[in-house]
Chain A
Amino acid sequence: MRRRAILGYGAAGVGAVALMLFVGWWQVDGPGGPEPVGQRPVALTEMDFRLTDHEGNAVGPETLIGRPTMAFFGFTYCPDVCPTTLSDISGWLDDLGDEAHEMNVAFITVDPERDTVETMAEYVGYFHPAIRGWTGPEEQIARVADGFRATYERVPTESGDYTMNHTASVFLFAASGRFVTMIDYHEPREFAVPKIRRALEEETEGAT
């Protein structure tokens, strides 16, 4: 009986969280929105990290300021989620056409041990050319994730290797560095592309 009651509260809790997330998505720019402020990424201007892109260039949050940014986490040894996300993003960028080249697209690894600069270069080469692969020392990756309020965790597999659990959402920032919104994993293209356009439009507004 007690267990059933607890399960009931749990189900109600899950429902409440789902509702909150939906409302948060719906009015993500609304003042005092229901999404806890602490769970949203800080502005890129408030982040501090040093990484290397897949061409060996030193990069950091300042690299992303001045153009709208789409950023997401993953790792190249990921068989399912990451190639799917990269394929989805490649599709969105194809839909955006020339506009895709007006934005930064950063794929940030959560597995720097295996994802070297060379590995990232080979991997991103299979996807849309706008996608940049970023890697760096573990403690710098941790700082990025902290700024994005993203999480990742190394999990051993039965095959003796390891896999990574990680935040699979795609983050959108305005050219100013301000966080705009995020695209959840597997969100349909008809929702994703307008969100990206919104981040692109903020750039125009900021410029005028």
Chain B
Amino acid sequence: MKKYILTSTLAALLTLGGLSVPALAGPEDVVVENAWSRASIGMNRPGAAYMKIRNTGDEPVTLIGLTTPLAMMPEIHETKTNAEGVSSMSPAGEIAIAPGESVALEPGGLHAMLMRLQEPMTEGDTFPLTLLFDDGGEMTVEVPILGIAARGPED
């Protein structure tokens, strides 16, 4: 039996399996910390969410996608800034996390890009974001929505 541990600042929600995933098998424990996002202005703009994902197990885990009722197209994106100071953003593809390693989704780097919002992101609310792993495992994080000008999970 696979176990994903979630430690979020505001809420913890454990999801084991989905409709098509009767049993989980594969990578070791995954811990998500300090999830946060910024409030949106309306629904036309994409949102972004950040968190730290730790693999505390003995085997690599690979994050292959996201789902959330908040956005029709949630996807891990990466911002890169080149030597000329020009920033660009593109899908990051699959994210492999080695045993004992962690991946930081943080401003200016990797982030959960929330395209096609289904409702505005309101400061003070939270929304569920499900991380999908290559072994069929998934894990739902309750992400707090902070102010538009928030700089980090503690704001």
Contacts and interface: CB of A to CB of B under 8 A. Distances in A.
B151 A80 contact: no
A76 interface: yes
A185 B87 contact: yes
Contacts, number: 94
A86 interface: yes
Contacts of A79: 45-48, 111, 113-114
Contacts of A126: 41, 147-149
A168 to B, nearest CB: 4
Assign chain B's interface to a size class: 20 to 34
B85 A77 contact: no
Contacts of A12: none
Interface in B11-64: 38, 41, 44-48
Contact of A185 (B45, B48, B81, B114): B81
A124 to B, nearest CB: 11
Assign chain A's interface to a size class: 35 or more
A167 B151 CA distance: 20
B44 A167 contact: no
B112 to A, nearest CB: 10
Given A79-B113, A83-B149, A87-B150, A167 B86 contact: yes
Interface string A79-98: 11101101110110000000
Contacts of B114: 79
A198 interface: no
Interface string A164-191: 0111110000000000001011100000
10 contacts: A80-B108, A80-B113, A83-B48, A90-B149, A91-B151, A123-B41, A151-B86, A157-B115, A158-B73, A168-B81
